[in-house]
Structure 1
Amino acid sequence: MVNSLWFKWKSLRLPWRRSFLVGQDLAGNTFWEFKDVANANRFRRIVKFDPKTHYGDVQVTPQWHQWLRYVRQDPPSLEEQQQDLVRQAQIKHLARLADERWASKPSFLDKPKTQQPLPPTEPAKPSVNPTTESPPETSTSTPPTPTPKPASAKPKAPKEDPWAKANPGNPGDTWQPESWTPSSKR
């Protein structure tokens, strides 16, 4: 009660006053205006905080910072400052939910599992009857032998160049550089 009366008294723009109280933020900082000595048409704007507070611990909200820098004409109201705190709490909640969704997805940086599924580009080997298949026998003493190629495979003939017929032939088409041989002349 006493504080609110004091704030109302200090905010009155009486002609003999040098500085006028404009408002207060939720942290208890007070914001003042006073006539500029160099320019009588302009008011200077300052913030006063608790002298026991360290300079590094003073925090000015963006709305009050805008008012201090003349970006904003009117000072923010207490309701606006409280709504901003609610907005910040909502953003923190949404950010926490987004972080949880992000953390639930597997990362490529995690250690791979022992049994990796096949990549989607490689088709899985189809098995006709998986219960009757026997596992392949592996022997540590003999290496696996490569399967021989069938002898009936014919070598493929080189393909004809489709542009050979369309090109009438230029004199430089068949030119190839000759290898350099040093001559004995000096």
Structure 2
Amino acid sequence: MSPINSLWFKWKSLRLPWRRSFLVGHDLVGNTYWEFKDTLNAGRFRRIVKPQPKIHYSDVEVSPQWHQWLRYVRPQPPSIKEQQDDILRRKRILVLAEIQRKRWETGQSQFDTPGTQQPGPATRTSDTALSAGTEAENGNRARNTDETSQGSSPQAKTQSWDGAPAAKEDPFFKPRDVPGEKFQPESWTPTSSKR
């Protein structure tokens, strides 16, 4: 900050009796925070933020510390050191999150069986179709290895007990005891409770 700006801030922050508004502080972006006497409630000060003149009101960003001060959650305004520490804390969190993301992508989940690894998150619709196809292939390979390890031949699985070829599983098969789409539950009628 330039010496002229610091002198202006000191002059505006003086609580002189004829002044209506007092400068309380500023943030690292350049927004200034003010207090002024409320005309309806003389014992309470109102708190506002004045953004830089070149910034549109929709683009104003208020830090959480200053937001707490504006909402009377904290009585004292945050210092410049506290605001700088908060920015460093945010940068550290981003670095740690990136490290954890890389660890998650390269590492294996503890819930996976040994030899399998979770697929990464799907970012495009084509990824979901590809991952579904590879999961089906992996499932078929796993079934084939299970069958060969048990000593049964693949032909025995495709034939029924009478020697006829087994029917393929129908994806639209619904058991008969399951209610259909038009099922409506009966209305409930309360009865007196037994004592």
Q: Under TM normalisation by the shorter chain, which class is it?
A: 0.5 to 0.7
SS at match of 1:118: helix
The root-mean-square deviation of aligned C-alpha atoms, in Å, is: 3.2
Contact 1:118 1:124 in 2 (8 A): no
Q: Distance in 1 between matches of 2:44 and 2:93?
A: 38
Within the candidate set 142, 149, 158, 1:125 is matched to 149
- Which residue pairs with 2:37 in the alignment? 35
User: Does residue 1:18 correspond to 2:47, yes or no?
Assistant: no
- Which residue pairs with 1:112 in the alignment? 134
SS at match of 2:134: coil
Q: Measured at CA, do residues 103 and 8 of structure 1 come closer, stay the same or move farther in structure 2, by a change above 3 Å?
A: same
Q: Distance in 2 between matches of 1:44 and 1:123?
A: 77
Structure number with higher helix proportion:
2
Q: Distance in 1 between matches of 2:161 and 2:25?
A: 89
Q: Distance in 1 between matches of 2:148 and 2:101?
A: 35
- Counting only pairs closer than 5 Å after superposition, residues 68-107 of structure 1 correspond to structure 2 as 68-105=70-107, 106-107=118-119
Gap runs ≥5 in structure 2: 108-117, 121-127, 163-195
Q: CA deviation at 1:51?
A: 2.3
- Counting only pairs closer than 5 Å after superposition, residues 151-170 of structure 1 correspond to structure 2 as none
Structure with more contact order per residue of length (Cα contacts < 8 Å, sep ≥ 6): 1
- Which residue pairs with 2:50 in the alignment? 48
Normalised TM-score (structure 1): 0.61
Q: Measured at CA, do residues 126 and 42 of structure 1 come closer, stay the same or move farther in structure 2, by a change above 3 Å?
A: same
Q: Spell out, residue by residue over 1:30-69, the C-alpha distance to the aligned partner (whole angstroms, 9 max, x if none).
A: 0000110001100000000112211221000011001001
Normalised TM-score (structure 2): 0.58
Q: Distance in 2 between matches of 1:147 and 1:66?
A: 75
- Which residue pairs with 1:160 in the alignment? none
Q: CA deviation at 1:11?
A: 0.6
Q: Distance in 1 between matches of 2:75 and 2:7?
A: 25
SS at match of 1:125: helix
Q: Distance in 2 between matches of 1:29 and 1:82?
A: 15
Q: Measured at CA, do residues 66 and 126 of structure 1 come closer, stay the same or move farther in structure 2, by a change above 3 Å?
A: same
Contact 1:25 1:78 in 2 (8 A): yes
Q: CA deviation at 1:126?
A: 8.1
SS at match of 1:53: coil
Give the number of equivalent residue pairs. Answer: 134
**In structure 1, what residue type is equivalent to 2:41?**
N
SS at match of 1:22: strand
Contact 2:51 2:57 in 1 (8 A): no
Percent same amino acid at aligned positions?
54
Gap runs ≥5 in structure 1: 128-135, 137-143, 149-186
- Counting only pairs closer than 5 Å after superposition, residues 57-72 of structure 1 correspond to structure 2 as 57-72=59-74
